Structure 1
Amino acid sequence: MSTSNVRTPVRTRIAPSPTGFLHLGTARTALYSWAYARHHGGEFVLRIEDTDVARSTQDSVDQILASMAWLGLQHDEGPIYQMQRLDRYQQVIDQMIAAGTAYRCYCSPEELDAMREAQKARGEKTRYDGRWRPAPGKVLPAIPDGVKPVVRFANPPDGVVTWDDLVKGPISISNTEIDDLIIQRPDGVPTYNFAVVVDDLDMRITHVFRGDEHINNTPWQINIWHAIAAGAPLPNYGHCPIILGDDGLKLSKRRGAVSVTAYEDAGYLPEGMLNYLARLGWSHGDDELFSLEQMVQWFDGSHLAKSPAQWDPAKLAWVNAQHLKAADDGRLAGLVVTQLAKRGIAAAADARLAAMCALFKDRCSTTLELTDWLAMYFAPVTPSDEERAAHLTDAIRPALATLVAQLDAAAWDKAGIAAAMKATLTQHGLKMPQLAMPVRVLVCGRAQTPSVDAVLALFDKKMVAERLQSF
């Protein structure tokens, strides 16, 4: 879509249902909507579609808001709650009934079931048969006592609904394929396909990015739009392909998906997650790694994929690792403090911890992995029996005793520690691995670390001596 054809001001929205966590597909849609608005200097609206009263919860709302905040996708308006707009929906319903574009239907669930079974028996497509739809000369059934009606949209009986999808190109669906859907339940609460149209109209939404499971809803929404706002320009719709899980099936809230906040808890960075999500359905040349600012600059609504993308945890880890390497060490220190606190370990996000992050972050994909490394500086370590047997032999004990003495007299920095180790090697006729490996096992709890002098320099000097003498 060329920038010259974009209606202004651009207004996009994300409208999650608070019936569970914000999952990855919705997060990707939020990213595209936010980036498109930012690219065009427009506005991004957060709407909470909470008309599923039985399943909507405040916990879900809180989780959605927390997820959006963590991702850094700040909204310009909202959150707007549909259940606070019931008077507005009723106003539109009344106008539609008066105009003949909606009508009350008194069918019971049993009648509807019987209707569908009869249609199946005749080999017909199951659909509402319009028995309560007014028409010239038509005699409607008697209104049953004590039955609260639903309100149905009087969908056009013929013609074709066509729109030029931002992702999939021109799409056409015949009105004969869709029926008179319910737009208001007996309790007065509107249904999704009606409320979303009123909201998009009132909120002046110009572009709607969403999952392609909504394609079949779009003809109803376009027809309702024309019924309540004839002549008003429709939003531009862009239906993004689904995200597939490892098993090739749809990744959804009900099957296999993980909440956005779970990835925060697992130590992913928001910029890593956003970078990965962006590439699940969009590309900018061969660029694999980019910042959010770069995406805003590039995301003009073009280059959106038509085919489903597959979730790849290994690729996500790689992308996050690159962002972790580039992250500010002081910021990482703060994230590690939070992770340590979950393990009951108190630490301060000071210059020393930032230096630890700088030393170890190249080895990690997440701040959780980084915390796994840095916990050794704050809590006791327990080397494995295999590493103790391989590296902690009686033959190395005299050299370790010498090293303790050398370190006690050394300047406590990388150069001083390196000099103390060199002197110990010379005195005992050893090569570096013969000394460095047991030192790592005793002090760090593992045989593999970055340069041992750099690692030890960040420890408390007394702690190093105590651990070397624990052998």
Structure 2
Amino acid sequence: MRFMHIRTRFAPSPTGFIHLGNLRSALYPWAFARHNKGDFILRIEDTDLERSSQEAVDVIIEGMAWLGLDLDEGPIYQMQRIDRYREVVKQMLDSGLAYPCYMSEEELNKLRDQQMASKEKPRYNGLWRPEPGKTLPPVPEGVSPVIRFKNPIGGSVIWNDAVKGQIEISNDQLDDLVIARPDGTPTYNFCVVIDDMDMNITHVIRGDDHVNNTPRQINIMRALGGSPPVYAHLPTVLNDAGEKMSKRNGAMSVRDYQRAGYLPDAILNYLARLGWSHGDAEVFTKEQFVNWFDLESLGRSPAQHNPEKLLWLNHQYIQNSDPVKLAAATKPFAHEMGMDTEAGPDFVQVVSLLKDRANTLIEIAEGAKLFYLPAPNLTADQIKENIAEAVMPVLKDLVEAISTAEPTKEAYAAVFKQILAKYQIKMPALAMPVRYALFATTQTPAIDSVLVVLGKEEAVKRLSKVVQ
């Protein structure tokens, strides 16, 4: 087999925000291109002028950049290629591959109603299709025609789908597709073909909602002398209720996950497993994914979104993240919560302490508040209510011991052990009052680690206020 330079593309329509199901359709062609040392292209299919928006384009580009899906070409906008499409439409008209159709919307709707009443498949009847010996109706005045592609009559379109296997569609099921509207703007299925040909796309990896478009696109491509790419139609991504993932069904946008404190590598890992697998591997790096990825391992069944699995995966990535990088990713969330991360303990230390119990960056930032909010100003009543009188002598001894101890986790642990043995009490009986004295809460990470991060001087100052 001769070497083929792989070229894939992600071609979203910027008519709404991009959710996880959309992003999977970007991830797989990106991974296939990277695995094969090929090219990955972003093409913005923005010919739907009424519904397309620049904001949606921005979200697509930002989301892909956030996930690290780097581009070799693009973004390429279809609306900037209108002259090219019109040029090809003219060529097709001149060569008899396409023809003007003057059937009005009203006539077309009437025809479809009649066909449905007769239990026939609604389709254009070829009224304006020129054929040898056929007399066409008189051209109505003042009507701008649509341009239709002369679809082959008889035979079938057959292709070997890399996911679904061989698919065969009879040409008799396909009517003559409109390739240009009355105002001259080209239609989706036509633009896709010209783009894929001009950009030398070798593999089209996309959702299986495009399967019905594929035979039409193959016929146009072959009529223009092109060779169809390899098609791989990915099964639908279902939401956790078993419905197709969409904004209407509550799907979150990529920006939502970013704002909710998810790590891009966790999202990428999760998306990779929504329809692809490599043995039993659940947690893997982006590099491993690219190295392992092939079309043969794509699943044929719909994948189901599992929010709990995604949260678990995000926790795995947070747990195993480099503390410096994790702190940098968490800082914006801490700043949003009003924390000055420069005024207090080293933020990297704080994040290192909190990361093993956190599922999201927001949870880390929430935990960090302990160390950056002002020291609690406890009233006598609060102290009496939350710290038993019998514990006060124990706390006093603890403060003195901490004051002379080395500021290490091991030294503080030894101090606690010594005090507990002296007073014959269990750790919770001492740790809970210490937590409350330090932060006015009884929920914190391990107390010896907390003392290290908070700092000896600050810890002694806060504890001393309670035992005075």
Amino acid across the alignment from 1:181: L
User: For the residues of structure 1 that align with 2:383 and 2:302, how far apart are their CA atoms?
Assistant: 49
Q: What is the match of residue 207 of structure 2? A: 211
What is the aligned residue count?
Answer: 462
Shift of residue 65 of structure 1? 0.5
Matched, 1:49 2:45: yes
Q: 1:181 aligns with which of 177, 184, 187?
A: 177
Q: Secondary structure at the match of 2:211?
A: helix
Distance 1:311 1:286, change over 3 A: same
User: For the residues of structure 1 that align with 2:345 and 2:104, how far apart are their CA atoms?
Assistant: 70
Q: Secondary structure at the match of 1:216?
A: coil
Question: What is the alpha-carbon root mean square deviation over aligned residues?
Answer: 2.5
Shift of residue 143 of structure 1? 2.4
Q: What pairs up with 1:261-410 in 2 under 5 angstroms?
A: 261-348=255-342, 352-380=346-374, 392-410=387-405
Q: What is the match of residue 90 of structure 2? A: 94
Partners of 1:268 and 1:367 within 8 A in 2: yes
- Structure 2 residues not aligned, in runs of 5+: none
User: For the residues of structure 2 that align with 1:372 and 1:379, how far apart are their CA atoms?
Assistant: 11
Shift of residue 365 of structure 1? 2.0
Distance 1:177 1:445, change over 3 A: farther
User: For the residues of structure 2 that align with 1:192 and 1:351, how far apart are their CA atoms?
Assistant: 57
- Structure 1 residues not aligned, in runs of 5+: none
Amino acid across the alignment from 1:41: K
Q: What is the match of residue 64 of structure 2? A: 68
Q: Secondary structure at the match of 1:8?
A: coil
Partners of 1:333 and 1:349 within 8 A in 2: no
- State the TM-score, normalizing by the size of structure 2: 0.92
User: For the residues of structure 2 that align with 1:467 and 1:51, how far apart are their CA atoms?
Assistant: 64
Amino acid across the alignment from 2:159: W
Distance 1:285 1:404, change over 3 A: same
Partners of 1:243 and 1:310 within 8 A in 2: yes
User: For the residues of structure 2 that align with 1:193 and 1:32, how far apart are their CA atoms?
Assistant: 22
User: For the residues of structure 2 that align with 1:388 and 1:206, how far apart are their CA atoms?
Assistant: 72
User: For the residues of structure 1 that align with 2:74 and 2:307, how far apart are their CA atoms?
Assistant: 32
User: For the residues of structure 1 that align with 2:372 and 2:285, how far apart are their CA atoms?
Assistant: 33
- State the TM-score, normalizing by the size of structure 1: 0.91
Matched, 1:154 2:174: no
Amino acid across the alignment from 1:321: H
Distance 1:437 1:350, change over 3 A: closer
The C-alpha deviation readout for 1:118-161, integer Å capped at 9, x for no partner, is 21222211111121221222222222233222211111122100
Q: 1:84 aligns with which of 69, 72, 80?
A: 80
Q: 1:431 aligns with which of 426, 430, 434?
A: 426
Shift of residue 52 of structure 1? 0.9
Q: 1:35 aligns with which of 19, 31, 35?
A: 31
Q: 2:454 aligns with which of 449, 453, 459?
A: 459
The C-alpha deviation readout for 1:42-99, integer Å capped at 9, x for no partner, is 1100111111110111111111100000000001000000000000000110011111
Q: 2:196 aligns with which of 200, 206, 221?
A: 200
Partners of 2:407 and 2:455 within 8 A in 1: no
Partners of 2:344 and 2:372 within 8 A in 1: no
